[in-house]
Structures are given as structure tokens and as C-alpha cells.
A and B are shown apart, each in its own frame.
Chain A
Amino acid sequence: MTSLFGRIWLSYWLVMALTAAAALAVSFALALKRADDTNRISPETLAQSAAGQLRKGGRDGLGLWVMDQHHTHPELQVYFVDDAGHEIFGRALSGHALSGPTGAVVPRIGEPGAKSYRVYVRRTRDVAFTAWQMVFQPGILLVLAITVSGLGSAALARQLAKPVERLRTGVRAIAGGAIETPMSPTISGRRDEVGGLARDIDQMTARLRAMIESKEHLLRDISHELRSPLARLRVATRLLRQDGATGNRTALERIDREVERLDGLIGQILEYSRVQASPPLNLENLDLLALLEDTAEDAQLEAEAEGKSVVLSTTTPARIRGDRSLVLSAIENVVRNAVRFTPVGQPVDIALVVVGGVARIRVRDAGPGIRAADLARICEPFFRADGTSGVGLGLSITDRITTLHGGQLAARNRAGGGLEVEIVFPVLDGAGAPLIADSPRTPEGAA
């Protein structure tokens, strides 16, 4: 067993079972020794002891000794028989008893100067262990002890492992993006080490939250700072036109175009920087096909203006768990990129298929494609293949977003020419369980 519960349980159980077994073994050994001692007492020894008592205390003393003897060695009966054949304490004698196992020599004891008695020792049973006593009795005790200790240590292990299990649930929620929710108070309220750990984790997520917030804030400020001068520039060129700067109309148009390009680039850099930082995901169940249809519709509108088209050719319904705006932006980047590179008059083909628990969105253009050696580098920021204009950050952003959602991006050249970019998202299974918890979350962005 590899779980904490299992290990605690097993070790407690083992220790308790071993202790029980050892205790049983010791008491078994003690009983064995006592039995051995009893067996070793010979009639002669008993007779000597009885003679001493008789001398000291007379018959009364002997009577006390018999009672005492009966108490300490119940399996030995000692009889005293006078010459007339009567037992002196009036106990009944059977012939069988007198022919005890000690054999021929019958010791005699006597009061000084008076009658003497023969001493018979009868062993009611030989002190030896039966199979019951040897095996089954301790066996049953052992099984009982192991069962009881097993239940006991299970309860104990549960007691110890449960808060850790709860802690784990909380940490998993954080890993899944629920960075806003603190640990449950039943855990962080505990006074032990687990409670301390929960409070430490709360502190950590609070810090993480503050860091992400300040980063988002910084990105908004950067956006504002960089775009405000562009906004002024845009008004300035319009004012120049209004003042009748007709001679330089093309130059003004170029300035406007560059402002737009710079604005787009700022947007991409900020988005890239945002997704690199592993932002908390606003997860919901998404109808991937619907998102794709919306994107295709918009892209078609954009493509039409350039004499191109966008076709949604193969469609399969697919539900994924994801952040709507991020998933949309991931798809949009790939589709717009394809629209950019496909030649005029050629369509961009979008397909959605679901195979083996993942949804594959394939976007194909009829453009020049990319050298095979460069395919792996297509997601690098500002990657620029030989002879083509740069693709900017769009694919890098998409790559990161798919990774955040437990998916991936792949690019390959099509047999008939053109590039195929495939983005993969894990689909929600029938039970609605998100697959995202298993997604790799690279920590470099949080640094």
C-alpha cells in the first residue's frame, strides 16, 4: 500500500500484532516452565516436605500443608495412609490412585516415636499441554488480537490520514485554479502540524494571489501607458489631415498603419505575458463546436474582405472544460494566422474531430507551409521562417493556452502544400469529470 492511510494502518497494525504475539509467547513460555516445574516434583521431595511439617506441627500442621499443596499444585494429590490402610484425613482412596506413576518405592513418614504413614502421590493428570492449549488457544487469541488491533489501528490511521486527505483536496483545488478559496476552516483551525501546514498554504496562496494581481495590474498599466501615446498620435494625424495636409496623405496613412500594427503587437505581448504567468483559469463547461462556429463566422467575415474564405468542414459535438475567453483566443489566433497565409481565392479549412478522449481542431491553409526543420520552432515567440513574414506571438499564445488546459499544439505541412495546425483539448467525459487536474502546470511563469 502506498497511501499514507495504508502505511500508517499497516505499521500500527504490525506493531500491535507483534506485541500481542510476543505477549502470548511469553505467557506461553511461563506456563510451559511452570508445568515443567510441577512435573519435576518427585514423591520423595513431597514426602520430605510433608515429614518436616508433621514434625513441626503434628497432624494439624500436615493438614494445613495438604491444603496449601492443593492450592499451589492442584494436579498433585498427596495422600497419607496408615498401616491399617486408612487415609489419615479420611479421603477416599481408589486403588488406581495409589498405583501412581511414581512407581514402586513408597516413602514413609512418621511422627517421632509414633505411627508412620505411607505417602502416596497421585497425579490427577500429567501436566503437559494438549493440542488445544499448545496451538488453538493461543492461535484464537492471536487472531482475535490481530483483528481487534487491525480495526483499532485502522481507526487511528484514519484519524491521522483524514486531515492530510482534506489538505490534499484543498491543494488540488488550488492547482486547478481555485486560488481565491482558502483551505476549509476545519483544517486550518486545527492546532496540530496539519493545521499549521494548512495555514502556511493559505499564506502562500494569498501571496501568489497578490503577485498575480499585481502582475495583472502592471499589465493593465503597461497597456495604458503604451496605448495612450498611440491614441494621441492617432488624433494628431487626423488633425493634420483636417488642417489640410493633403500633400502627405500617404505618409499619414503609413503612420496610421504603423500605429495599428504597434497596437496589435502591444496586445499580443501583453496577452503572451499574461498566459505565461499561469493566470487563474475561469473554468466552465464549453461547447467547443459552438465556439468554433462563432470563430469561423467572424474569420469568414474578415477573410471575405481579402478575397479568401473560411470553411468549417468536419464537425463533431465536443464539450471541454476551459476558460472561455482563453480558449476562444487560442482558436482565433490559429484561424486568423491561417487566413493571413492562405493565398487569395483559397479557403482555410477548419475541422473538429473527437478521438480517444481528446478534441482535435485542425486548421489548414493553402499557404507556403514551413520548412520541416522549422516546424518544431513555430511556437517560439516572434519565430520567423526563412522567406516568410513573422507570425508574431499568436501561435505562442495558443500553445501556452492549450498547455494550460492540458492539451497541446502541433504543426505539420500538408501533402498538397500548405500548413496544418492542430490544437488538442481534452474533452469532458460522460461523467463530466474534468481532465484538467492532471494537466502539467509549469512553474516557470510564476517566478
Chain B
Amino acid sequence: MSHMSVDEGSVRWTLAEAQARARRLPARAWAMEPRGRILIVDDDEEFVRMLAEFLLAQGFLILPAATGRRALELLESETPDLIVLDVMMPELDGLATLQAIRSSRDIPVIMVTARGRAQDRILGLELGADDYLAKPFDPLELSARIRAVLRRLRQGFRARAPLALGPLTLNPAAMTASLYGVEARLTSVEFIVLDLLASEPGGVQSRAALTERALGRPLSPFDRSVDTHISNIRRKLNLTPGCGVEIRAIRGAGYSLTVADDAP
């Protein structure tokens, strides 16, 4: 494992060099408003430096942190729009960091992992990450996903009135949902998935449509992200059989949300 440390000095240096490089780019990239402030948490200094350079050119502002602990420290004073979090780090690993972040903040998180196995990759989603990417990935894909997540947050939910479906209530302004008055905090992806299903009770939303509309990318084969988000929604809202609201998987078709007729 590479244990290169990114200390304060090198952080500034990373940004300075990246900005210097970015300035050589066409004016278009740099002149516009920053698209968002991204906290990158990864112990691979070289990787962070290059990624920062790329994302700066894409119009994001970058704040690097070499360890999970450092990221939590930074979060006490800074409020990034999104966090890119590596799973494998010394000291506090990505999953523990994610749990610590989720216990207090609702900042969207994209997990990045060099672990190989499918279940290792999906682990971050179960703990409340908004999306994940397996290393090695195309940075262009990362920037597309960052934009998709940020776009969701600016989708104008805040202006919408709460939606009530039997015992289920969706509150777009706070991105929360409650069942029988018990409120559950959902990630932005989870909320959008639930919102899509609730917008047409009894209807079927395909996995492809849900992936496209909630995650902002086409469904790729063997991608089980949507299924994990759905199971998170079920767990967080405590959608037990007989509770009046059911999200059913319809094999080969997708998912469907139904509200029982006799539900209060």
C-alpha cells in the first residue's frame, strides 16, 4: 500500500500546480463559475494530484485530504458540495469515514475503490454512499457522475410540496420520507428513486429508467446499484410486509411501489 502523506504544504502545492496547469487551458473551462467544491479523500498522493488537475479543468474546486481522519477534520470547517472517498486507506478507512460523515452530514459521497469483488464495491452504497466507481476508472466518468449527483441536488425539489401516499409521506424540501410519521433520512439517490416510484403508484419503473433518472447514467450490465438503493430504502423506512406500502421487484420488468387499499 502506498503510504505517501499529503501534508498541508503539499496540498497547497498540489492546488497551485494544478491551477497553474489549468490556466493554460481554454478560457472557457476556467472562466465559468465553479461547478462545485469537491473534497477528494485518498492516500495516493500522485493520483489525487492528477485527479485534482483534471477536475479543476472541468470547473470544480478541489480540496484534498490524505486520510479519513484529515477529511473529518476538514469537514468541521469546510462544507464541500460532494466528497470523493477512497475505500482503502490506512488508519480510518473509507467505509468508517463514510459512517462518520453520515452520522452528522448529508453531503453526497461517491465511493472509489480498488477492491476487486462486486460485493466489496457495493458495500459503500449500503452504508449510504450516493454512487461508486471501481479503480481504475475514466476520470471523465467520475466528473459525469459528480455532475449527475450535483444536478439532482439542484433539481428544484425544494419548491415542491410534500407528497402523501397512504401512510407514506415524501418531503422534497428536506429530502426525507416518513412512514406512519416515522421519518427516515435518505440519500439524494435514494430519495429520487423513491420519488420516481411514488410518482406512479402501482406502475412499474424499469431498472434502466431508475438508473438513468436517479444516477444519471445508462444501466450497464451487472450493475446492481439500483437494487442496493432500493433495499436501503426498504430498510430505512422499515417497509415490512403488511405495513401498507410495498416496493416489489418485478422480474424482468423493474420495480413497483404499491399502497394497500386498506392502509390508513
Contact = CB atoms under 8 A, between A and B. Distances in A.
Tell me if chain B binds chain A.
yes
Interface of A: 219-221, 223-225, 227-228, 230-236, 238-239, 242, 256, 259-260, 263, 266-267, 270-271, 290, 293, 297-299, 301-302, 325, 329, 332
B134 to A, nearest CB: 8
Contacts of A233: 136
A296 B224 CA distance: 14
Given A228-B135, A301-B221, A220 B51 contact: no
Contacts of B220: 301
A267 to B, nearest CB: 5
Contact of B139 (A238, A267, A290): A238
Nearest to B207: A297
Interface residues of B, number: 31
A238 B140 contact: yes
CB-based closest 9 A-B pairs = A227-B114, A230-B136, A302-B221, A231-B135, A231-B136, A234-B136, A235-B50, A298-B221, A301-B221
A224 B53 contact: no
A217 to B, nearest CB: 11
A301 B211 CA distance: 14
A298 B222 contact: yes
Contacts of A260: 136
Nearest to B58: A242
Given A223-B116, A227-B114, A266-B116, A242 B25 contact: yes
Contacts of B13: none
B46 interface: yes
Given A220-B120, A225-B2, A238-B54, 20 more contacts: A220-B115, A223-B116, A224-B1, A224-B114, A224-B115, A227-B114, A230-B135, A231-B114, A235-B47, A235-B54, A235-B139, A242-B25, A242-B57, A267-B116, A271-B116, A293-B251, A298-B221, A302-B222, A325-B117, A329-B118
Given A227-B135, A234-B136, A239 B119 contact: no
User: Which has the most chain A C-beta neighbours within 10 Å: B50, B54, B220, B222?
Assistant: B222
Given A263-B136, A298-B221, A235 B116 contact: no
B113 to A, nearest CB: 9
Given A232-B44, A234-B137, A235-B47, A332 B222 contact: yes
A293 B252 CA distance: 8
B88 interface: yes
Given A223-B116, A242-B25, A228 B139 contact: no
A239 B2 contact: no
User: Which has the most chain B C-beta neighbours within 10 Å: A234, A235, A299?
Assistant: A235
B138 interface: yes
A interface, over-half SS = helix
Contacts of A239: 50, 53-54
Contacts of A221: 1
B219 A232 contact: no
Contact of B118 (A232, A293, A325): A325
Given A238-B54, A263-B136, A290 B251 contact: yes
Contact of A232 (B47, B57, B117, B221): B47
Nearest to A293: B251
Contacts of A290: 251
B47 to A, nearest CB: 5
A230 B114 CA distance: 10
13 contacts: A220-B115, A224-B1, A225-B2, A230-B136, A234-B136, A235-B54, A239-B50, A239-B54, A267-B116, A293-B252, A297-B252, A298-B221, A302-B221
Contacts of B50: 232, 235-236, 239
B226 to A, nearest CB: 12
A256 to B, nearest CB: 7
Given A223-B116, A301-B221, A228 B54 contact: no
A149 B115 CA distance: 65
Contacts of B2: 225, 228
Interface string B1-43: 1100000000000000000000001000000000000000000
